[in-house]
Amino acid sequence: MNHLWGNTYIEALSYYSVVIVCGVVFLAIFELVTKYRNWNEIKNGNLAVAMATGGKIFGIANVFRFSISTGEPLLTTIVQGAFGFALLLIGYFVFEFLTPTFRIDDEIERGNVAVGLIAMIISIGLSYVIGSSLY
């Protein structure tokens, strides 16, 4: 069985599967903390929500990219990914706190593309900082 774990394709499939499952779980958590329903808004053509959600997806995947590149065992990768996700989530709340004159969720739900773009860039930017600190 050990020879299977050394196979590049098996390892890739393992990491891929873990990232997909974790991504779905983490996006579900993001769905709980935002006041709007991401997938309904995206279905209805809300570009601001699509940008913010895309940034979250990229951010989660990017944190895992850095974690996978450390060469640590799969369980460590999961723990690092979950830690990175927690930091991304905190970043979301900090963004909300730093904009006291308007509510981020309200603006994104209304389709404010400028706010959606900034939310996306914050998620992507933080994912690089978080990911590189895990490396």
H helices present in 34-73, as ranges = 38-43, 47-69
Give ∠ CA 106-107-112 in degrees, rounded to 5. Answer: 150
For each successive 10 residues of the chain (135 residues), what is the average pLDDT?
69 93 95 91 97 96 94 91 95 91 94 96 97 86
User: The tokens of 45 are what?
Assistant: 């053509």
Q: Are 63 and 85 in contact (CB under 8 A)?
A: yes
Q: pLDDT tens digits, residue range 32-45?
A: 999 899 999 999 99
**pTM to 2 decimal places:** 0.89
Can you give the residue ranges of every domain in the chain?
Answer: 2-134
Distance CA 87, CA 22 (A): 15
